[in-house]
Amino acid sequence: MSGKIELLNTTLAAAKAADRAALIAYLPAGFPTVDGGIEAVKAVVAGGADVVEVGLPHSDPVLDGPVIQTADDIALRGGVRIADVMRTVREAYEATGVPILVMTYWNPIDRYGVERFTAELAEAGGAGCILPDLPVQESALWREHADKHSLATVFVVAPSSRDARLATITAAGSGFVYAASLMGVTGTRASVGAQAQDLVGRTRATTDLPVCVGLGVSNAAQAAEVAGFADGVIVGSAFVKAMLDAPDEAAGLAAVRSLAGELAEGVRKR
């Protein structure tokens, strides 16, 4: 079975054709449980998310702030494994039909085996991977296997990235470019900042790939602001916080569905 990079491409193109940004939701696998995580993905899609990133929980995250670290810790203490991540992708894709990517640090893939990981992700119906700590110059093996299995390779660019570096990164990537709105870790913030708009402009000058902005977006007004200059709005910590703050799983699912609905309205008010 081939991966779903074309589904990702057509989904992002459809949002652009509708003169809006795509809403991309992030949720960790195994949080609050494996089954609960799958239901959470279904809930954000029901609320209006166009694309979902499933996080592979990691004990030493470099991009994730305290909210996602807390969720990862819950998932890891619950015994989540890569097989559970693949199950989350499979069941979420089968239930929703939207593109599902895995966001992961490199070490788990390296230990698991690149060929094995890409083959299993494609077989599960995955659309690709976001790899925040894989240097482009060390990514040839990954990209070879991702291309073979029709999986997107999404790299992260930051405000500190120089223009020549941006060109190198975007030339190697596929699916979309993940533009980190600021220097720092994931988390909700009062303001997304002007750095993000500048980064999107500089990134677009190097590529025709959609440029999607993450880090800091937590409400409809911020989503509308970012949607005014980006092709996609990525939201993670706000969804995770909604789950963490809920008194029980049912309330958490209702909260993330409601938040997805508000954010989906936001990206349409660009």
- Catalytic residue positions, numbered: 53, 64
Rounded to an integer, what distance in angstroms lies between the CA atom of residue 24 and that of residue 45?
9
Q: Can you say whether residue 244 is alpha, beta or left, with left for phi > 0 and alpha for psi between -120 and 50 degrees? A: alpha
Rounded to an integer, what distance in angstroms lies between the CA atom of residue 151 and that of residue 119?
10
Rounded to an integer, what distance in angstroms lies between the CA atom of residue 41 and that of residue 45?
6
Radius of gyration of the chain (CA): 17
> What contacts 154, CB < 8 A, 6 or more positions away?
101, 128, 129, 130, 131, 173, 174, 175, 176, 177, 178
Rounded to an integer, what distance in angstroms lies between the CA atom of residue 257 and that of residue 145?
35
Q: Can you say whether residue 210 is alpha, beta or left, with left for phi > 0 and alpha for psi between -120 and 50 degrees? A: beta
